[in-house]
Amino acid sequence: MGQYQNNRNIFFIKFRDWNLKFYNKFISNPPYLDADKVFPEHKILENNWTLIRDEINKMVTKTNSLPKFHDVDDGQAFISNNDGKAWNMFLVKTYGFWHKQNSKLCPKIVDLFKPFKDVSSISISFLSPGKHIPPHKGPYKGILRYQLAISVPKNGNCQLFVDNKTYSWTEGKGVMFDDTYVHEVRNETDETRIAVLLDLRRKNLPIFLKVYDFIFFKIIQLLVVLNRTMKKSTVS
C-alpha cells in the first residue's frame, strides 16, 4: 500500500519520516476530532456554506480549466494521477500565502476566511466521478484537516476513510481529522464531489515543540516558493 510520495529524493523521505515520528512522540489524538472543540469557528463556515457554494459555481464558469493536484505538486502523482480520473484543486491559500490571482475569482470566500488566522491553507477540491484517492498519510503533524462538503453525490457511495473508519459527507457540514493517519477517498458515483479543504495549525503545543514547529513551517513555506506553487496553481 503506497502511503507516501514515491518520487521524492531520499533526503526528503528520510527527513519526512523522522519528523513525523518526532511529532508523534509528543502529540496524540484520535483519527477524527471534535470540530466544536478544536475549531469552533467552523460553525461560521457551515452557516455560510451556500455563499461558498454559489461563489464556487460562479468561479467555475469563469475559468478555462482547473489544475490537477499533481500538476501543482508532482510529488502527489501517486494519489492524484493514479487512475486516469481527475482530482482538480483550486488553491486560495497555501501555508500562509494567499494566492493573489486566484483570490480575485472568489472575493467573498476570501473575506469570509480572512479572520481565521490559524487556517494556514485553503483549497477547493473537485473529485471527479469514479475517482479513487488511494490510502496515504500526510507527512506533517503540525496541522489538522477540516473538510466542508459543498456538493455531495446523491446516488452511490462517496466516502472518506480515516484509519479504516468511514465518514459520509453531508452538504453544508464539515469533518475534522488528522491526516497523518492512513486515509483514502472513494467516489464510486457518476457525480463530482466538491469540498473546501482547510489546514488548521495546531494549538497548545509544548513550548519546545512550538518553536520547532515554527521553524519547520518556515521550511515548508520555502519549499512552496521553490516549487513555484503559486504559478503552477494559477487559474486563468
Helix (H, G, I), strand (E, B) or coil at 172: coil
21-52 confidence digits (pLDDT tens): 999 999 999 999 999 999 999 999 999 999 99
Q: What is the structure's pLDDT at 217?
A: 95
| Backbone Cα Rg of the chain | 17
96-132 confidence digits (pLDDT tens): 999 999 999 999 999 999 999 999 999 999 999 999 9
The predicted model gives 48-74 an average pLDDT of 92
Percentage of residues in the chain having pLDDT higher than 70: 96
How many Å apart are CA 88 and CA 71, to the nearest integer? 9
> What are the sequence ranges of the domains in the chain?
10-232
Q: What is the structure's pLDDT at 9?
A: 66
Given a contact cutoff of 8 angstroms between Cβ atoms, the answer to whether 150 and 52 are in contact is yes
Q: Is the pLDDT of residue 6 over 60?
A: no
Distances (CA, A) of 127 to 70, 91, 160, 165, 175: 13, 14, 12, 20, 17
Q: What is the structure's pLDDT at 75?
A: 80
The predicted model gives 88-92 an average pLDDT of 96
The reply to whether CATH 2.60.120.330 applies to domain 10-232 is: yes
Q: Is the pLDDT of residue 10 over 60?
A: yes
Going by pLDDT thresholds of 50, 70 and 90, the confidence category of residue 74 is confident
pTM beyond 0.85: yes
**Angle value at C-alpha 110, between 118 and 69, nearest 5 degrees:** 80
